[in-house]
């Protein structure tokens, strides 16, 4: 029979997995409390970094419908649960790991799909959602202004063509 405290911990982790856009599993062995505090700050406001028990986390992930490789649960594990932009948190983890080699990104989950450590690092190389949306908006605006120029050019070209035809007719009429 499961102990009530462990059942509550599993239920809490399951809720975190379900309510998160992403979760990144890391190994934190060798990091000081001060370094963990710095890491939590670097993840941004939309991420929660928690040290977890491997067995309980594996059970919670399964209950949330997420299948993770058993190798992710070797050694001490902490999970960054991301409720906002996963790119921002992935960048925070990547940058912190560069300065603190004791932090090892093991893998994770993005929108219910398992990801390897390399895929999370590629995610960190992406630009933030806001930057990508602004680039998309800029591209749309550029296309709209190009279309407006084309539509504006058509009537003026028509007027020039009609004027040229009129002038040509006047020349032919005067030559006869």
Show Cβ contacts of residue 89 under 8 Å, excluding neighbours closer than 6 positions: 22, 24, 43, 44, 46, 47, 80, 82
Spatial distance between the Cα atoms of 157 and 159, rounded to a whole number of angstroms: 5
**The pLDDT of residue 175:** 56
Q: Which stretch of DSSP H or E encloses residue 120?
A: helix 117-125
pLDDT for 2 equals 64
Residues contacting residue 86 through CB under 8 Å, at least 6 positions apart: 21, 22, 110, 123
Query: What's the pLDDT at 89?
Result: 84
The pLDDT assigned to 165 comes to 84
pLDDT number for residue 5: 82
Sheet holding 22-27, edge to edge: 47-52, 77-82, 22-27, 104-110, 113-116
Give residue 1's pLDDT: 40
pLDDT of residue 103: 87
Query: Which stretches in the chain have pLDDT values below 50?
Result: 1
């Amino acid at each position: 029979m499961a102990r009530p405290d462990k059942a509550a911990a599993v239920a809490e982790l399951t809720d975190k997995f379900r309510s998160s856009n992403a979760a990144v599993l890391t190994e934190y062995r060798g990091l000081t409390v001060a370094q963990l505090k710095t890491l939590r700050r670097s993840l941004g406001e939309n991420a929660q970094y928690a040290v977890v028990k491997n067995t309980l986390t594996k059970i919670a992930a399964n209950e949330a419908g997420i299948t993770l490789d058993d190798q992710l649960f070797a050694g001490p594990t902490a999970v960054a649960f991301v409720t906002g932009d996963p790119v921002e948190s992935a960048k925070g983890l990547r940058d912190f790991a560069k300065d603190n080699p004791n932090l090892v990104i093991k893998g994770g989950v993005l929108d219910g799909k398992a990801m390897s450590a390399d895929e999370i690092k590629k995610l960190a190389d992406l630009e933030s959602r806001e930057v990508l949306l602004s680039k998309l908006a800029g591209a749309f605006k550029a296309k709209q202004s190009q279309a407006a120029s084309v539509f504006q050019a058509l009537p003026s070209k028509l007027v020039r063509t009609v004027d040229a035809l009129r002038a040509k007719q006047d020349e032919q009429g005067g030559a006869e």
